[in-house]
């Protein structure tokens, strides 16, 4: 179990709990937008009106007094100590609650936790500890690794609020939010050394029920996933059954836990829902696909290379190694069907670029489609676009390897 008991003085390994996506996204933004990143990073609190925030808190909440609420503050202090959080924490009860919830606010040198609904009376000590640890997990994430995840938050916030925001910016921010909740759930489970109270707290917040059974809910989640591939369609928080299953996978040290969580979150999305990382990945795979198609000497005609430069202005063919070709094929075979259709159209595009090469480019495209495990997709698209009869297609498909071998020898 990831969340086994720890010696009292052993610090929590926060970095180990961070989903890879959050680190990859931060690295991408820092690498591709260095000026904006540096500006946000160095100036991340300069535009924060701390006094206005505090006044709004006082106007809309009731501060939970430390001296008169020993139980909850003892739990808060224990969580803060476990997380090595060095800033003071104050709790506030939200007025006119819409439900049961909690939220964290972090301002320089202070953390405020907002409690909505009767969590202090309806939650056991372990369940309340899970809620407090989850919310303080947000604060910790904003502080670790030179505050890079807080900079990511601010930069994506600015990009998404721009009138010219790209869909990839919005999708990246959505995934950032979902993975952040996964991280905070892990923090809660790890602080407790047990995922069940963390799952119970999630169920209580979601249902507002006083008594819940986390084991039974995990069985319910198993039934959902037994129906096939399930992906989150939420914007800020993954579905409850996804969060519960993610915690169980993490606690059980499940094989390929990150890949399984990625699948549940839906990291590799449809073509029209790609985030910045997937867009970059598809661009890289596109260039490798051009290298794979043009690995035949006869295919690198002036027309074909000119067409390749419509995709990448500075394109220069690079010999693709066999291991890289296998990796490319495996990656494309695992993509969403809508993205596989894109690669099928890409192959067809190059198959029809240089008419002087006759059927050889189409044979090469068939060969690539076969390697990429998208032969059926490519056949359906190509036959429709080229208006080829079944017999014509089958004849070329059956003879493609011989045709290409002969052409390569020449």
How does pLDDT run across 309-355, given as a tens digit for each residue?
Answer: 999 999 999 999 999 999 999 999 999 999 999 999 999 999 999 99
Q: How far, in Å, CA of 113 to CA of 126, rounded?
A: 17
How does pLDDT run across 184-234, given as a tens digit for each residue?
Answer: 999 999 999 999 999 999 999 999 999 999 999 999 999 999 998 899 999
How does pLDDT run across 336-346, given as a tens digit for each residue?
Answer: 999 999 999 99
Strand partners, 93: 62, 115
Q: Decide the pairing of beta strands 101-107 and 110-116.
A: antiparallel
How does pLDDT run across 105-157, given as a tens digit for each residue?
Answer: 888 889 999 999 999 999 999 999 999 999 999 999 999 999 999 999 999 99
Looking at residue 44, its pLDDT comes to 66
pLDDT over 90 for what percent of the chain? 90
Mean pLDDT of 91-111: 93
Element (H or E) spanning 113, and its range? strand 110-116
Q: Among residues 306, 305, 303, 183, which one has the least CA distance to residue 247?
A: 183
How many CA atoms lie within 13 Å of 50's alpha carbon, on the beta-carbon side? Answer: 10
How does pLDDT run across 4-47, given as a tens digit for each residue?
Answer: 444 444 568 899 999 999 999 999 999 999 999 999 988 766 66
Looking at residue 107, its pLDDT comes to 81
């Amino acid at each position: 179990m990831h969340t086994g008991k720890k010696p009292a003085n052993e610090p929590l390994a926060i970095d180990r709990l961070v989903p890879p996506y959050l680190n990859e996204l931060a690295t991408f933004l820092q690498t591709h937008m260095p000026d904006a990143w540096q500006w946000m990073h160095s100036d991340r609190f300069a535009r924060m009106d701390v006094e206005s925030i505090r006044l709004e808190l006082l106007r809309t909440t009731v501060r939970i007094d430390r001296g008169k609420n020993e139980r909850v503050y003892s739990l808060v202090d224990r969580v803060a100590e476990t997380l090595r959080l060095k800033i003071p924490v104050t709790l506030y009860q939200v007025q006119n609650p819409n439900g049961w919830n909690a939220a964290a606010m972090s301002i320089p040198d202070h953390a405020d936790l907002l409690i909505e609904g009767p969590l202090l009376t309806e939650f056991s000590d372990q369940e309340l500890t899970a809620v407090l640890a989850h919310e303080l997990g947000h604060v910790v994430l904003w502080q670790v690794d030179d505050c890079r995840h807080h900079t990511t938050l601010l930069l994506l916030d600015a990009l998404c609020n721009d009138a010219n925001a790209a869909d990839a910016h919005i999708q990246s921010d959505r995934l950032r939010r979902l993975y952040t909740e996964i991280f905070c759930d892990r923090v809660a489970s790890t602080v407790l050394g047990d995922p069940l109270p963390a799952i119970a707290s999630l169920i209580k917040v979601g249902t507002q029920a006083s008594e819940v059974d986390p084991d039974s809910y995990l069985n319910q989640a198993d039934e959902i996933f037994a129906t096939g591939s399930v992906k989150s369609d939420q914007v800020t928080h993954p579905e409850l059954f996804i969060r519960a299953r993610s915690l169980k996978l993490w606690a059980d040290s499940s094989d390929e836990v990150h890949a399984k969580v990625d699948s549940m979150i839906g990291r590799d999305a449809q073509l029209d829902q790609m985030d910045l990382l997937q867009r970059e990945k598809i661009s890289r795979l596109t260039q490798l696909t051009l290298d794979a198609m043009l690995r035949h000497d006869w295919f690198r005609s002036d027309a074909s290379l000119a067409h390749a430069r419509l995709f990448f202005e500075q394109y220069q063919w690079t010999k693709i190694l066999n291991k890289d070709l296998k990796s490319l094929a495996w990656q494309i075979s695992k993509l969403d069907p809508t993205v596989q259709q894109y690669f099928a159209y890409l192959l067809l595009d190059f198959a029809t670029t240089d008419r002087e090469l006759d059927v050889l480019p189409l044979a090469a495209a068939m060969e690539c489609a076969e390697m990429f495990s998208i032969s059926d997709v490519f056949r359906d698209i190509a036959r429709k676009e080229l208006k080829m009869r079944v017999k014509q297609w089958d004849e070329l498909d059956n003879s493609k390897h011989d045709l290409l071998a002969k052409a390569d020898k020449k």
